[in-house]
Structure 1
Amino acid sequence: MRKIYLAAFSIVFFICCSKEKAADRNKAFEHYRKSFIEALWINFPDYAAASGFHKYDNVLVVNDATTRAKQLAFIKSNLDSLGNYDEKSLNPGNFTDYKMMGNMLKSYAFGMEEMKSWEWNPAEYNVSGPFAEILNGSYDFLSVRLKNISLKLDEVPAYYAAAKQNIRNPTREHTELAISQNTGGLSVFEKDLPAMLEKSDLSAAEKDAMKAKTASAVNAIKDYVSWLQKLDNPTPRDFRLGKKLYDKKFEFDIQSAYTSSQVLEKAVAHKKELHEKMFVIADRLWSKYLGTAPKPSDKNQLIRQVIDKISLQHAKPELFQQAIEKQLPELLAFIKQKDLIYIDPSKPLEVRKEPDYMAGVAGASISAPGPYDKNAKTYYNVGSLSGWSAAESESYLREYNDYILQILNIHEAIPGHYTQLVYSNQSPSLIKSIAGNGAMVEGWAVYSELMMLENGYANSDEMWLMYYKWNLRSTCNTILDIGVHTKNLSKDDAMDLLINEAFQQQAEAEGKWRRVCLTQVQLCSYFTGFTEICELREAYKKQQGEKFRLKDFHSKLLSYGSAPVKYIRELMLEKQ
């Protein structure tokens, strides 16, 4: 009997010691993680400001050889430090952070040493955004923010001097974007900053000093724009990334359980499924919109003709932003009625005209506060149609017709990006917010569109047909992006895909071509994240059985912040 007691005591003692050692290892990792974040902000102060951490707002990083060497040393040192931790000994939350930190550092190193976009993308150099964010912030007194801006202004000439030194054989497309965005961003320094300066309680001497610095910054920006316009570059770099670089970037940016080739295969199959569903609905709606007109034998042509008729229902150009603002309370009311997800009413959302320095890539977007600035406003940026021709405006508004505009608002705002990013900021782990995974962020927004319609939102054949058209967008985004950057898909073939298979308007298709020329991989995040979240929901539903509740699924999914879906899946399906 005594031997049995001793054996039992030994087992308990061993378990207790193991638990204590695991706790110590996790505490050590958490201490390191804290110091890692502090050092991260020192090396990447603009990233810190975007996350709501404003201690280094007075610093403007000049991207020269010295800075890159310093940043690479930080990256490699911390990759070595991560190697000191046994990932299997970490608890689930720390394990996910460990993986995300490693991915972040490797992604930075890849960008600096292999992709080297700082050499061929002149649009990476633009000071307008960081200055505007400080200027429009509400996290401190205006005088404090202006003093930070004053110190930051000192480095603007050196910033653009380094840019000119770095750029070698840039792409034509990124050069044009840099000229456009830097020119648009001048308003921050010529209009916005002087207006705020006059409102401030800074002394006359301080104001005069800032005016002189601002004038110097404006000259540096104009000089950079002029330099780009005159740049002798007879054989510009191809904007296409190529398969080798693309696959690496896909791995770092998407962090999917699937490779880019597997995602492409899924997207092609999904496109076929959507076409079949759309034909059934379009065929049913034919007589309603086209009367007794003969039906075309080509199924896609039939779908296209019905969509074209429905698309005539849209807002007027001057009322486009108002139409968006009007719909947001309606979406919120539906979510409350159906009890789909909790949305914190204390987190402000404001619809605004897209700032000029952001223009030229996406027509609608969300600018969300970081985890350090949780109560600041989230901005829904809406592209302006001013200056567009009547034909361009009509094409754009047919794309964002009365039905699709509702889906856009679900995606960008409620319960899409705005909602998910509010949850992400509440995550107890800063890493899951500041190193947020784009496929989770975009995937949730795409998933939320389907989820709302599944639960009866604006239920009609027209809405479902337009939803499937919209869902084709994220599906074809993936086919387009991988095709263009790894398979040399031509513009003609890309336009055929977007117009004849995704049923997009000419203006939308032209805009998407422009976007795929300027970005890489990001267009895959929508479909990839959507696919993985839908697969996770089905697996979780099967595991929970009768206990499954949709609102509980959403709350648990979003509680992990913006971690990659493949890690969230492991945590949610972990056996208790």
Structure 2
Amino acid sequence: MKRRSLLSLALLAGAAGASDSAFKPVGLPSEASELDTGIEDFLMGLWQLDPDAAVAAGRFEQSHRITLPSAALRAQRRQFLKRWLKAFQRLAVDKLGAAERMDRDMLIAKLQSDLWRLEVLREWAWNPAEHNPAGPIDLALNTDWAPVQQRVQALHARIRQLPAFYAAARASLVGVTREHTELALQQAPGVLAVLEDLESQAQQQGLGALMQPDLAQARAAVAGWQAHLRQLLPIARRPWRLSAALYETKFKHDIQSARSARETYELALARRETVLASMQAQAEALWPTVIGPEAPPADRFALIGRVIAKLSEKHVARDRFVDEIRAQIPQLEAWVRDHDLLTQDPAKPLAVRETPVYQRGVAGASIEAPGPYRPQDSTYYNVTPLDDLTPEQAESTLREYNQWILQILNIHEAIPGHYTQLVYANKVPSKVKALFGSGSMVEGWAVYGELMMLESGYGASPEMTLMWGKWHLRSVTNTILDYSVHVLGMEQKAALDLLTRQAFQTEREAAEKWRRVQLTSVQLTSYFSGFSEIHALREQLKAKPGFGLKAFHEKFLSYGNAPVRLIAAEMAGALR
């Protein structure tokens, strides 16, 4: 499922800040030291103009300020991005070490991406869900960066600015999509829930009466935002499909792959055939024990689907869904430790919690990691409970996350997937690699982590092998679906058939994925793109003398969140 590549990645991907001047390389004794100085100056400027990005990164001294989505701020960002892009491009590459070259390349890619998003994609104009102030408030309130009273006081100053925030957001919107407007309406009550949490903390600190007038104005601003969105719905006609030209460019910026979007799509089609052939053989072997003496169907989708459907009846009870996820985490930690797959840090806490309301509506599970300035803080494994579902919807979800796939989900999201990788990323000395990393690397590692665990013998059984095939097919199908929908014009009926009949997902899961592909673009390709590049790198290095699996894992993770293509170039080059 979608990760809040928190890394602050989701929050920082489109962010930019301001600084009075960019550094000017003028031949100081060391290009590396010049780069380091420039990075610090760049980040300080970034945090000054974009306090939301600062809070996401763990710079909580900016908690009292808010990032206004105004035309004036966008103009400042544009100027800032162009100035810093020119400055980093002027650095002499041949005088930098490998780590510094990677930082420079990543900064240039980030600045180019931010400029393109600001000037060409312009999602701030057509996606109302871009303007959601809840995340930084929740993070600053519930992170132990200062005494509670100080946190409340800082956020008091922030919520005073919410009316101006929503006024700027309303002024920014032009030609919105209906789908993103509906998402913003769905998430608005979550902002109110965060304000209620803040009010409760303020009352406990004796600040409730002082804050009450500003809280009332903040709530009124949210209500005004909701009313404005409802007025936009009847005229929200912008197509949500990205189109071929925008899609290929966004893929280049977001995925940072050595391949194009089209090449990745074609590779996914080939991988799909390989996975389906393997699943067919597994289903044929399981048929007599799972289904019985009935003759299996000739159609491979029907054959595989029948076996998966029967096995999927084994799942956790509805009211145990979140608790079961919480219980499996120590088991995964023990497996990784006992099989010496990589070193873990027991001092880094992982908290399984119900997904905050303001984050719901796109995916049911995600990892939310602290920024690199606060690596000691908790990582949250957000899981959306099934409380609000009908019995039929809950059963569909539970069958999708059945006895075997729920374990694979936890491998992907937690150990040795996202949680483990992000802990490593926050240890990397380079803030660039932690802050501005590749979502494809992050998602690709999580998919690779699934394969890693199964190759080590985890859950060894024909049922687990078949279910991992289904889960892995999801990553592959994500790429096929996203490209087919946004570039090739695939309609809902064909998309649902691809997901349900051909990828064996439940109707509810498929419906949620169809909604997600309308609300997002390119991100769904990050799973397979990143995995395929990581796996190819591992197979390339396995042929070299002295290869060790644990050493490979830890070396790969030591590069933080850098794009796989840059990591591969360094790791493969080191063995030449």
| Structure 1 residue identity aligned to 2:134 | S
TM-score by length of 1: 0.94
Matched position secondary structure for 1:131: helix
**RMSD of aligned C-alpha atoms?**
1.2
Q: Distance in 1 between matches of 2:233 and 2:407?
A: 46
Map 1:56-75 onto structure 2 (within 5 A): 56-75=62-81
* Structure 1 unmatched ranges of 5 or more: 1-20
Q: Distance in 2 between matches of 1:527 and 1:221?
A: 38
| Structure 2 residue identity aligned to 1:319 | R
Q: Contact conserved, 2:89 with 2:108, CA < 8 A, in 1? A: no
Worse overlay, 22-31 or 309-318: 22-31
Q: Distance in 1 between matches of 2:300 and 2:532?
A: 26
Q: CA deviation at 1:232?
A: 5.8
Decide whether aligned partners of structure 1 residues 89 and 402 sit closer, same or farther in structure 2, where only a CA change above 3 A counts: same
| Structure 1 residue identity aligned to 2:203 | E
Q: Distance in 1 between matches of 2:94 and 2:159?
A: 47
| Structure 2 residue identity aligned to 1:195 | S
Paired position in structure 1 for 2:123: 117
Q: CA deviation at 1:23?
A: 6.4
Q: Distance in 2 between matches of 1:86 and 1:41?
A: 27
Q: CA deviation at 1:224?
A: 0.5
Structure 1 vs Structure 2: percent identity of aligned residues? 42
| Structure 2 residue identity aligned to 1:556 | K
Paired position in structure 1 for 2:561: 562
Matched position secondary structure for 1:504: coil
Write out per-residue CA displacement over residues 323-376 of structure 1, whole angstroms, 9 at most, x where no aligned residue.
111111111111111110111000000110110000000110011001111110
Write out per-residue CA displacement over residues 196-240 of structure 1, whole angstroms, 9 at most, x where no aligned residue.
11222x5xxx53231211111111001111111122643610110
**More helix by percentage:** 1
Paired position in structure 1 for 2:49: 43
1:326 aligns with 2:327: yes
Q: CA deviation at 1:464?
A: 0.4
Paired position in structure 2 for 1:198: 203
Paired position in structure 2 for 1:249: 250
Matched position secondary structure for 2:175: coil
Q: Distance in 2 between matches of 1:262 and 1:231?
A: 38
Q: CA deviation at 1:27?
A: 1.5
Paired position in structure 1 for 2:503: 502
Worse overlay, 176-185 or 418-427: 176-185
Q: Work out which of the residue numbers 25, 28, 37 in structure 1 matches 2:34.
A: 28
1:98 aligns with 2:104: yes
Matched position secondary structure for 1:365: strand
| Structure 2 residue identity aligned to 1:371 | P
Q: Contact conserved, 1:22 with 1:89, CA < 8 A, in 2? A: no
Matched position secondary structure for 2:373: helix
Q: Distance in 2 between matches of 1:246 and 1:433?
A: 26
Matched position secondary structure for 1:369: coil
Map 1:341-360 onto structure 2 (within 5 A): 341-360=342-361
Matched position secondary structure for 1:168: coil
Q: Distance in 1 between matches of 2:276 and 2:242?
A: 30
Q: Contact conserved, 1:92 with 1:571, CA < 8 A, in 2? A: yes
| Structure 1 residue identity aligned to 2:250 | K
Map 1:380-529 onto structure 2 (within 5 A): 380-529=381-530
Q: Distance in 1 between matches of 2:203 and 2:339?
A: 49
Q: Distance in 2 between matches of 1:212 and 1:257?
A: 54
Q: Distance in 2 between matches of 1:558 and 1:92?
A: 16
* Structure 2 unmatched ranges of 5 or more: 1-26
Q: Distance in 2 between matches of 1:130 and 1:179?
A: 19
1:141 aligns with 2:147: yes
Matched position secondary structure for 1:381: strand
Write out per-residue CA displacement over residues 495-547 of structure 1, whole angstroms, 9 at most, x where no aligned residue.
0110111110000000100111101111010000000000111112222x2x1
| Structure 1 residue identity aligned to 2:547 | F
Map 1:138-287 onto structure 2 (within 5 A): 138-189=144-195, 191-200=196-205, 202=206, 206-231=207-232, 233-234=234-235, 236-287=237-288
Paired position in structure 2 for 1:18: none
| Structure 2 residue identity aligned to 1:568 | I
Q: Distance in 1 between matches of 2:188 and 2:407?
A: 32
Matched position secondary structure for 2:366: strand
1:54 aligns with 2:60: yes
Q: Distance in 2 between matches of 1:39 and 1:402?
A: 49
Give the number of aligned pairs: 549
Q: Distance in 2 between matches of 1:167 and 1:233?
A: 15
Write out per-residue CA displacement over residues 180-208 of structure 1, whole angstroms, 9 at most, x where no aligned residue.
1012321111x3112111222x5xxx532
Q: Distance in 2 between matches of 1:151 and 1:23?
A: 44
Q: Contact conserved, 1:50 with 1:369, CA < 8 A, in 2? A: yes
| Structure 2 residue identity aligned to 1:192 | D
Matched position secondary structure for 2:501: helix
Q: CA deviation at 1:141?
A: 1.2
Q: Contact conserved, 2:28 with 2:34, CA < 8 A, in 1? A: no
Matched position secondary structure for 2:381: strand
| Structure 2 residue identity aligned to 1:574 | G
Q: Distance in 1 between matches of 2:64 and 2:45?
A: 16
Write out per-residue CA displacement over residues 403-425 of structure 1, whole angstroms, 9 at most, x where no aligned residue.
00000000000110000000000
TM-score by length of 2: 0.94
Write out per-residue CA displacement over residues 467-497 of structure 1, whole angstroms, 9 at most, x where no aligned residue.
0100000100000111111111101111011
Q: Distance in 1 between matches of 2:48 and 2:540?
A: 42
Q: Which has the larger radius of gyration?
A: 1
Q: CA deviation at 1:144?
A: 1.5
Matched position secondary structure for 2:283: helix
Q: CA deviation at 1:95?
A: 0.5
Q: Distance in 2 between matches of 1:85 and 1:184?
A: 45
